[in-house]
Chains A and B, each alone.
Chain A
């Protein structure tokens, strides 16, 4: 089955700096790659997603890039703010309906 690896597991940046989280996947048939943000004690919420026919997608301070050849995708957060502190999960879907999640990155943005 699909295996999604996510790095780093923890990331600390200063306010205003950029943060990058990387994921790799194993199934070349994967065609949908969402990123979820989970604040402490809350449910995961979708922040951005990308499909396999697109190489990059941007939404304000957040961008995702996809390299299908290398089977990896990344989340980029620019001009980080303290409210960006949360756990971020990448996921991949290869046909069917099931999403396979990475183990998460705990991002801390310090003022």
Chain B
């Protein structure tokens, strides 16, 4: 099993550009989530999904969109990147709700 995978590992964007961070898991987990990690702020929940076709907002959802068309994939879309979105992004999955397995992260810089 590959576990939770994320692409890309690094990305630099200009303000106003859009992009999609990819996340996939091969553990047949129902629950998937996206976090951002900023220095001194811990892990903050952006969006999560409890199954295909079901998504909900977390603590910091503004500026991000998600969709869940399959159990395996949970992409995160930045609609119009802003410097405040410079962060490390982690995707995670779990089944049943409990231990979350994290992906390796994507380090995003917005200039």
Contacts and interface: CB of A to CB of B under 8 A. Distances in A.
Interface string A98-110: 1111111000000
Interface string B79-111: 000000000001000100111101111000000
A71 B69 CA distance: 38
Interface residues of B, number: 23
A53 to B, nearest CB: 14
Nearest to B94: A97
Contacts, number: 52
Interface string A38-61: 000011111001000000000000
8 contacts: A1-B59, A32-B97, A43-B90, A44-B43, A97-B31, A99-B100, A101-B42, A102-B42
Given A43-B104, A89-B42, A93-B97, 20 more contacts: A1-B59, A9-B40, A32-B97, A32-B98, A34-B99, A34-B100, A42-B104, A43-B102, A44-B43, A96-B97, A97-B94, A97-B97, A98-B33, A98-B45, A98-B48, A98-B58, A99-B33, A100-B45, A101-B42, A101-B43
